[in-house]
Amino acid sequence: MSSDKIKNIEHTLLSDNYYILNKVNFDYLMKSGIWVNQMREVYDRGDGAGILLYNKEKKTVILTKQFRMPTFLNDNENGFLVEIAAGMLDKDNPEACVIRETEEETGYRLKEVKKVYEAYSSPGVMTEKMHFFVGEYTDDMKVNEGGGLDSEHEDIEVLEIPFKEAVSMLNNGEIVDTRTIVLLQYTIIHKLLD
């Protein structure tokens, strides 16, 4: 992290109640050559990883459905969101995280996953970088019912749906999670289920 367009960076902690919210003050050198002072609130929850599971024979994908309060507060009628399996890295590397989260959330124990993208989730506000994976699943990889961790009050529904139906949900606006859109589009572009 270094830039000759930025100086005097100061962090002020606004909240460390659960994750970390800082006010970051800095001087920024405009294209015009003038230094201006700027402030940004930056939310730090660490990085995340997510995966689209697909089955080549059945031409199905595994998605999850769960309540997301921030979406309920902003226009998502009942607050439930259809998503890829995903979680925060905690202390794991992205691959280990995505294998752990897949088993916790969907009940499938994966052997192999393929990293396809790395991208910032919401670059104006959050530090979070998201690691995107795809992975093949088969019925015999199912080791439990999934659903998430009771200890964290996760209440996740596991959806196994035809890929065609997932694409319809993408096109008719039923899927409104960016990470899920990204991986469904990846699957279309790279013809994983043609």
Nearer to Mg ion, 61 or 193 (CB): 61
Measure the CA–CA gap between 20 and 169, rounded to whole angstroms. Answer: 34
Asked if 64 and 82 touch (Cβ cutoff 8 Å), the reply is yes
Q: List the x/- string, 110-149, binding to ligand GDD by CB under 6 A.
A: -----------x------x-x-------------------
Q: List the x/- string, 56-75, binding to ligand GDD by CB under 6 A.
A: --------------------
**From the list ligand GDD, Mg ion, none, partner contacted by residue 48 (C-beta under 5 to 8 A by kind):** ligand GDD
In the numeric block, which tokens belong to residue 137?
Answer: 């699943």
Secondary structure of residue 106 in the 3-state scheme: helix
Q: Work out how close the CB of 149 gets to Mg ion at its nearest, in angstroms, rounded to a whole number.
A: 9
Residue 49 assigned as binding residue: no
Measure the CA–CA gap between 152 and 68, rounded to whole angstroms. Answer: 14
Task: Please identify which residue in 87, 94, 135, 146 interacts with Mg ion, judged by CB under 5 A.
Answer: 87
Measure the CA–CA gap between 40 and 42, rounded to whole angstroms. Answer: 6
**94: contact with ligand GDD by CB under 6 A:** no
Asked if 128 and 140 touch (Cβ cutoff 8 Å), the reply is no
**From the list Mg ion, ligand GDD, none, partner contacted by residue 193 (C-beta under 5 to 8 A by kind):** none
Task: Please identify which residue in 1, 4, 18, 150 interacts with ligand GDD, judged by CB under 6 A.
Answer: 18
Asked if 174 and 77 touch (Cβ cutoff 8 Å), the reply is no
Q: Which is nearest to 18 in space by CA: 47, 46, 39, 40?
A: 46
**87: contact with ligand GDD by CB under 6 A:** yes
Using CB under 5 A as the binding criterion, the count of chain residues that bind Mg ion stands at 2
In the numeric block, which tokens belong to residue 156?
Answer: 């996740």
In the complex, which residues of this chain contact ligand GDD (CB under 6 A)? 18, 48, 50, 86-88, 101, 121, 128, 130, 152, 154, 179
